Amino acid sequence: MDFITAQLAVGSRLEAEQGPTLAAQGIEAVLSLVPLARPAPVTRQLSLAIQDRVEIPGALIDEALDFLVHQTAHGRRTLVHCEMGISRSPALAAAYLHRTQGLDLAEAFSRVQVLRPNAEPHPALLASLVRHFGAQAEAIDLSSNENPLGPSPLAMAALLRMTGQLQRYPDREGTALRRRLGEICGVAAAQIVLGNGASELIDLVARALLQPGDEMLLPMPAFPSYRAAASRTGATLVTVPMHNGHCPVEALIERLTPRTRLVVIVTPHNPCGTVFSPSSLRRLMAALPSQACLLLDEAYREFAAAEELPDLSSLYSGQQHLCIIRSLSKAYGLAGLRIGYGIATPALAAQLDALRQPYNTSSLAQTAALAALDDAAYLTRSISHNAQERSSLEQGLSALGVEFLPSQANFVLFQTTPQEVEALAARGALVKCLERFGLPDYARVSVGRTADNTRFLQTLAEIRTLAGLNNETPIYA
């Protein structure tokens, strides 16, 4: 037998009959495409009557793949076998790679043949797989918190007008955009710093304020860019655990030291979707040591309820150690153009501006941002759609018995497993596994279009029914 992945092997009937060999290879499940009594070491077996040299009915393709995905997703090494392991089982192994890894079918067939050189699926089998998967719905991507409405119509029109001037360099200072943002935020244009997305601004703030020996205070879990930024500066990362998606202000204040240089608050929080109350922000700012700066990440601000949002004027006197990061990627639908901005004291803003690369924001990004900021109708529609569909997602998860955190952002954190995330992906529903955030048993699903959200919930229901799951573990604490 030959292993196509670490969990899936292809073999013949003779190989499938060798109980000691199966046990030595850790095989616990078998998909039999020809008659075979269940081998002694095997705990799961599915037998399907799939003939060679003819097309495979779509229902049998799905049944076979559902079995393979289910077994491997639960950590069981699985063997798929036919008579000789040359035609039927390699064909389904390629279909498995297509479904679980997103490989093009031709690439999947090539991968199988490299790993099992005698594989030669019959053309009729391959044709049936191509037709079957060609008719499948495209994958829905609910993993990146993107705006399902697309960009603002005013922004798209402005971009079209701008394409005739692409031979020219952008305004390296972003003068018009900074002026407009200053008007909206009620600060001087000199206090606005443009960034190639919020991620660049995080890096700029870390480089401006942190040195080896300094401390960055960060509630966990956290967006990985913060940990990376602290690491690049050589600063010490001091983490404060969040409980049920919230970080008590007292816990943060207790961890402040003379070495604290940067305190990060993300509200609404990514990935929890929770908010840090305005009163807690005021208490934290009052307790900050003189050398420390509060970095307030508000990339998802527009989606939160108005009463949960801090008043900029009450927090910001012009001299307090505060830097605010905001994004035009989410509510404004400009993620592909990478445009964000920071609000800081004039001195800190000048320091950040000196660190950024010249022309860090393109003429297209600046143009689209200016237009989007003036498209009030689009922003209202974006926020309204998110609120309605976020509620539908939460109701759907609740109906399935899935634990989740009520969200004030454009995503919902829910309890799951890496295997379930893989099973969702295999069925064309992509969500974000949060292992990199420090939450391996959770995922984040973005609020998408109505049809996409419905499909996600239906797919999750199918997977959980197939697996016989019910969620009894408490939500992240």
Residue type (1 letter), 397: L
What's the mean pLDDT in 144-148? 94
Name the 3-class secondary structure at 395: helix
pLDDT higher than threshold 60 for residue 80: yes
Which helix (H) or strand (E) is 433 found in, with range? Answer: strand 432-434
CB count, 10 Å around CB of 477? 8
- pLDDT tens track for 352-372: 999 999 999 999 999 999 999
Three-class DSSP labels, 294-343: EEEECCCHHHCCHHHCCCHHHHCCCCCCEEEEEECCCCCCCHHHCCEEEE
Reported confidence tier of residue 12, pLDDT bands at 50, 70, 90: very high
pLDDT higher than threshold 90 for residue 46: yes
Answer whether 235's CB lies under 8 Å from 211's CB. yes
Residue type (1 letter), 151: P
pLDDT higher than threshold 90 for residue 2: yes
Residue type (1 letter), 27: I
Predicted pLDDT at 320: 59
Q: How far apart are CA 448 and CA 148, in angstroms?
A: 5
What's the mean pLDDT in 101-125? 85
Residue type (1 letter), 453: N
Largest pairwise CA distance in the chain: 79
**b/e for 398-431, b at 16 or more Cβ within 10 A?**
eebebbbbebbbbbbbbbbbebbbbbbbbbbbbb
Beta bridge partners of 141: 430
Reported confidence tier of residue 135, pLDDT bands at 50, 70, 90: low
Q: Is 195 left (phi over 0), alpha (psi -120 to 50) or beta?
A: beta
- pLDDT tens track for 236-262: 999 999 998 999 999 999 999 999 999
The residue to which tokens 């081998």 are assigned: 39
What's the mean pLDDT in 105-129? 87
Query: Based on C-alpha coordinates, what's the Rg of the chain?
Result: 27
Beta bridge partners of 264: 295
Q: How far apart are the first and last CA of the chain?
A: 44
Q: How far apart are CA 205 and CA 328, in angstroms?
A: 18
- pLDDT tens track for 282-305: 899 989 999 999 999 999 999 998
Residue type (1 letter), 296: L
The residue to which tokens 């404004």 are assigned: 332
Write down all domains in the chain, each with its CATH number in brackets.
Answer: 2-136 (3.90.190.10), 141-147+377-467 (3.90.1150.10), 153-374 (3.40.640.10)
Burial of 179 (0-12, 13-18, 19+ CB in 10 A): middle
Name the 3-class secondary structure at 78: strand
Reported confidence tier of residue 472, pLDDT bands at 50, 70, 90: very low
